[in-house]
Amino acid sequence: MSATLSREPYQLPAGLLAVAVHGVFFALLYFGFSWQIESVHTMSVELWESLPEEPEQPAVAKVAEAVQPAQPEKLAKPDIALPDKKDNRKFETKPVLDKPDKKQAETQAAEQNLAEQMRAEADQRARLAAQQAAQAARDKAVQDAAIDAMVNEYKAKIVTKIRRNIVKPPDVPDDARAEFRVTLLPGGTVLSVELKKTSGKAAYDNAVERAILKSQPLPLPADVATFNRFRVLLLVFRPVE
C-alpha cells in the first residue's frame, strides 16, 4: 500500500510531458507536410473537331507577354531587300544619268548644228571639186581633140609638100610603100632622115629621101608648145595616093 502511494505523485507530470512531446511531434509533422505540398493548378481543356489554322498560344506565354515590360518601338525596316553578303550573284547596276540643264542642252545643240554645217560645207566642196574635175577632163578632151586635129592637118601639109618634090623613077609599082622616120628642129628644119621600111625599090626610096631634105623647112604650127608633137614624125609615101 505504501509502495503504490509513493509512485502516484510522479505519474501525472510524466503523462503531461508525454502528451506535450506528442503534440509538438504532430505539429511538426503537420506543418512540414503542408510546406511540401504545392498548390494544384487547374487546367481547362477544349475539344475541337479539327485542328485550327493557327494554334492558340498557351496561357502561360500570354501571361509572360503581359508581364514583360514595354520595349521602345523599333524602327521600321526599309522595304528594299538588302542582298545577303554571302550571296555571290552579281547584280547589274545601271548608271544614273543626270538630266542636262538648259545651258548644256543649248551647247550640245550648237555643237550639233556646227557639225552639220561643216559636213554640209565639206559635201559642197566635194561636189564642186568633182564638177571641176569633170569639167577639166572635158576641157582636156576637147583640147586634145583639137591638138590631134591640128597635128593631123600639119602632117598632111608636110606630106603634101614633100610629095610635090618627089621625082618618081620608072618601073615603080603603084603599091610600093616607103616608111621614113624624120626628126625635126623648131622652125621645121630637118635634123635627120631614117628609112624604117623600104618599098622594095631603092630608086624610089632615095627619091623620097631627097624630096624630104629639099622640102625643108617643113610647115609647123605657130604655137611652139605643140612642137613636141612634131619633133619625131613617121611618114609613109606611096607612088599613087
Digit-coded pLDDT (tens) for 105-118: 888 889 999 999 99
126: left (phi over 0), alpha (psi -120 to 50) or beta: alpha
The neighbouring-strand residues paired with 182 are: 193, 233
Q: What is the pLDDT along the chain (241 residues), one digit of tens a residue?
A: 444 444 455 566 677 777 787 777 777 776 665 555 545 455 555 655 665 565 555 544 444 454 455 555 555 555 555 555 555 565 566 665 555 578 888 888 899 999 999 999 999 999 999 999 999 999 989 988 988 898 899 999 999 999 999 998 988 898 899 999 999 999 999 999 999 999 999 999 999 999 999 999 999 998 888 888 899 999 999 988 7
pLDDT of residue 5: 42
Dihedral angle, C-alpha 108, 114, 117, 123, nearest 10 °: -100
pTM, whole model, 2 decimals?
0.46
Q: Are 186 and 227 in contact (CB under 8 A)?
A: yes
Whether the CB-CB separation of 182 and 233 falls below 8 Å is answered with: yes
Report whether 227 contacts 177 (CB < 8 A).
no
Map out the domains of the chain as residue ranges: 140-237
What is the DSSP code (8-state) at residue 221?
-
- Tell me how many helices (H) and strands (E) the chain has: 4, 3
> What is the spatial distance between Cα 68 and Cα 56, in angstroms, rounded to a whole number?
19
Over residues 149-196, the pLDDT tens digits come to 988 999 999 999 999 999 989 888 988 999 999 999 999 999 999 999
Closest CA to 155 of 207, 225, 232: 232
* CATH tag for 140-237 (out of 1.25.10.10, 3.40.50.720, 1.10.30.50, 3.30.1150.10): 3.30.1150.10
Cell numbers linked to 11: 505519474
Following CA atoms 56, 58, 63, 69 in sequence, which dihedral angle do they give, to the nearest 10 degrees?
-70
- Residue 2: the pLDDT is 44
| Residue 21 CA from chain centroid, whole number | 113
Q: What is residue 203's predicted lDDT score, i.e. its pLDDT?
A: 93
Angstrom distance (rounded) from CA 101 to CA 225 = 68
User: What pLDDT is attached to residue 3?
Assistant: 44
Instruction: Centre a 10 Å sphere on the Cβ of residue 178 and count the other Cβ atoms it contains.
Output: 25
Supply the pLDDT for residue 66.
47
Query: What's the confidence (pLDDT) of residue 146?
Result: 86
What is the pLDDT, as a whole number, of residue 171?
Answer: 86
